[in-house]
Each structure stands twice: as C-alpha cells, then as structure tokens.
Amino acid sequence: MIFRLVIQLALWLLSMTLVLFLAAGDPSWSAAWAFLCEVGLLSLAIGLLLNARDPSLLGERMKTPFQRDQVAWDRRFMIAVFAGFYLWLAIMGLDAWRWRWSHLPQSLQGAGMLAVAATFAVSWLTFRANHFAVPTVRLQADQSVIDSGPYAMVRHPMYAGATAFFIGAPLMLGSWVGLLLAPLFIVAMAMRAVGEERLLHDSLPGYTEYAARVRYRFVPRVW
C-alpha cells in the first residue's frame, strides 16, 4: 500500500507542479516550490501514519473520488471542485509570478505556510478520531456517530481544516487574486456539508441528537 501511496502522491504533486509552473512560465518561483514541498512532505507523513494506525481508512482514501454508492450530487460536486482547484492554481501562477500583479510581504507568506500546516494537523486529528472519514459522501454499512476528538467541537473538522488551506495556499504563493477566490471554495464546502448532513440526519441513527449537542459545523460560535 505504501508503494501505491507514493505513486498517487507523486502523480498529484506532478499535476500541481505542471499547472503552477506552466501558468507562471518560470521554474524559479521559489514560493511555489516551497508550497509543493510542504504539501508533499506533510501528505506523505500523514499517509505513513495512517498506514500504521488505520490502513483500511488509508485504502478508502486512496480510492477514486467517484464511488458506486456515492450520492449522485456529490459526483458532480467533486468534478466541479477538481476543475476549480486546478484553475485556481493556474490563476495564482499567472497572478503571483507571470504577471506579478500581487505583492505580499514575507510575513504573510509565512502565515500562509503555517495555515497550510494547520490543515494537515487537523486532518490527522480527524483521521485519528473517525475511521469513517472517507472522501466521498456516502453512508457506510457499519458507520456510527463520532463525537470525540475534533468532532466534540465542530461537526465537520476536515472542512474546517480545509478552510485554512484555501486561505493559506494563496498567502504562501503570494497571490491576492487567489485569496479573493478562496471564499468560493469555502462556500462550496459549506454547501457540501449541508447536503451531507441531510443524508446523515435521514440515515444515521443518533446523528440528529449529535447535531443538537454540537451546534457548529466549521467554526465554534460562528457556523
């Protein structure tokens, strides 16, 4: 499984590298290399930890994002998000490096690096707490309500962590335009969370009671 993990991660990083640097038109963009290295190393670290702790969950997360028992609207959502993500990377390459429209201080780029790291830290805490944290919206045969770890604070900690990524990545890459587009991804995640909760309220015993106890989806006392 580790070999497969490394291959999938390498292909994902290669795709991001091509998009970023084709848009930037210059392989000397140091912020992009730092971003790719951070994402790659942290993704590998979490994959190796998950392989040791919960290999079946790692196997689920390495499957195609389009599953037979996945709800239909989530397939369309995943297609749109993948397309939007790579378009977003291309726009940041154009903005931050080819056209040099944006100029961010190093302090903000450093803050972006910390925000990206926070995304992976939250992801790991989520995986430790929830064996059912698969990447598609579908109800698993043995699924149960999880209310420990980060799920004791918010109902969708993975999405909360991803919010930090969509803010941190454009800061790290030095793109104000990318940061202005980040709310589109955050709103998309919010819509997916609401749709996922409809399924869980209808089909997962105990979820309605859990949602009554843990009132917030992404950020405590906000939403």
pLDDT in tens, 2-53: 999 999 999 999 999 999 999 999 999 999 999 999 999 999 999 999 999 9
Lookup: tokens for 11: 């292909």
pTM over 0.75: yes
CATH 1.20.120.1630 for domain 2-213, yes or no, is yes
Q: In percent, how much of the chain has pLDDT > 70?
A: 100
Please compute the mean of the pLDDT values over residues 66-72 and round it to a whole number.
84
pLDDT of 216 above 80: yes
Interacting residues of 46 by C-beta distance below 8 A, sequence separation 6+? 120, 123, 124, 127
Q: Would you list the domain boundaries of the chain?
A: 2-213
Residues 159, 217 contacting (CB under 8 angstroms): yes
The pLDDT value given to residue 113: 98
Residues 218, 160 contacting (CB under 8 angstroms): yes
The pLDDT value given to residue 70: 85
The region, left, alpha or beta by phi > 0 then psi within -120 to 50, assigned to residue 67 is beta
pLDDT of 140 above 90: no
pLDDT of 213 above 80: yes
The pLDDT value given to residue 139: 80
The pLDDT value given to residue 67: 82
